[in-house]
A and B are shown apart, each in its own frame.
Chain A
């Protein structure tokens, strides 16, 4: 890597373009001893102002830092050494709202291009800067993500891992990229790996590892990941992969809803929409969440089956959706990519392979009957309890209707004990699923 000192105080060559354009002005400035031109790597044949003056100027510039302020219309970035330009570009990458923001920088000038591709800048790229769209997927996008992942960007590792695992069907490298992100404490990566463990994705149903799934979920939950909290809550309630502890599970479910609501309210655009849907009574009820014993709350919840627009205001609403229509949380770019990818391929990942019915998820099955379906209607299926709970709240609650017992085709029975025989309790918030 070129050292900062080297770049800053190196010989200032003039770009031949600029020479042609501003030869006279440059010569005048050179005579006055001001800062002229830019630091460029290209060899230049000649510098206006004559050989001796130019040589003197070069020597002078080597010893002195650039004059403060430069000349009137000169390149402002000339005044900054490379490490400061890198600082600026890191922040551009870190706060970019789309990949175009970063690429436009690369297109600006050669210095930006070389510094923009520096590993420090790439490692700071935000998830929005790496938000590749499925229709734009190509080798160069793949290369870019790989470059960022190699630079240590955990978002890139995760995104590329998801794309490789689910879309490109390259299970091993996808999982290892996700693992790399998970080691960097990336909560979505930990959760995605948990889902893979719970389902035994990429392998047979015997490859499921429930305890590993719970461990990964727990780590993600402690980092504040809402879906992981939900998943963990359900696992604790059901004793799935972990010793059953209903109270603890309930606590996680409540926490997940609260955190989701807080996230929505703290984002300025969604806050206005959500706030208008909250009724005062809901807030009053929330202020005393422990006012009623659990079973009473449950009964009240059962009465609130209809789509809630304004809170009835009783009970602990944090077990459902807090009595208001919380808008769907924004999907991670990786999930959006998968949803677009499979939508473009006819809504399926392959023959007989379904997608998770929660639209914000986008995960496909990796083998037949991997996902579980709603035990009431059987029309939708989910990769995880968290997706099921979220979709219930956002959409499915309004349209789920019990049907006559369906005829199973090729049931993927397992030793969970549920099989396909008995009707799992379709909870008021749909939190019990059964294997299909």
Chain B
């Protein structure tokens, strides 16, 4: 009996062979006689993140090295010392990645670890503190956005209810009141319009406070060496848009407004106008 396998199965086997070759940097395999398959020894298995396996290997090695060599710039008195330190780290990573002098490099690392135990501990603690603070801020920001979402939902519900009440009131009035239908309709329209403007006004007032997630905040000031340019949203009010080509519906669909071109022309006209 001749065992003939399909072309597809060949491909599969071939591809798995290639895949294992590529991640052989990280895994050692053994042949499992029961499933007639190559299985990885679970302890070393890692998911390949980058296309080039060499880069992946380097990234892993770098992570490990930096866990030990975790000094920061402020730990050094001069910039040169810091740069020398960084160069040291790079040499170590290079040696380990390219299998050069692996034994000696590992010894150097161990020596460093022993000598600088307390500094390493301290920096580890600092790092975790910073991470915690960041996580806190992120959590807060998440909570705030969740709250805002709920609020807008509630607002929408309220508006829908108000509209429904209005309609119901109109129907009731049409039934019961003695005034002619046209008058009632006009009154109703009026009331609806008033309600709309009220809602608009509310929206304007409730501008959500901008929360900056990173926590550092100073408005950025850039010197344009020229007179101030009006803001993009003020251009219509100030009358600039009357002198620019109006955007066609196709332009609007693409996100283009005439204010954009106008603002850019004005920015260019005023930038660098005053001699320094």
A and B, one complex? no
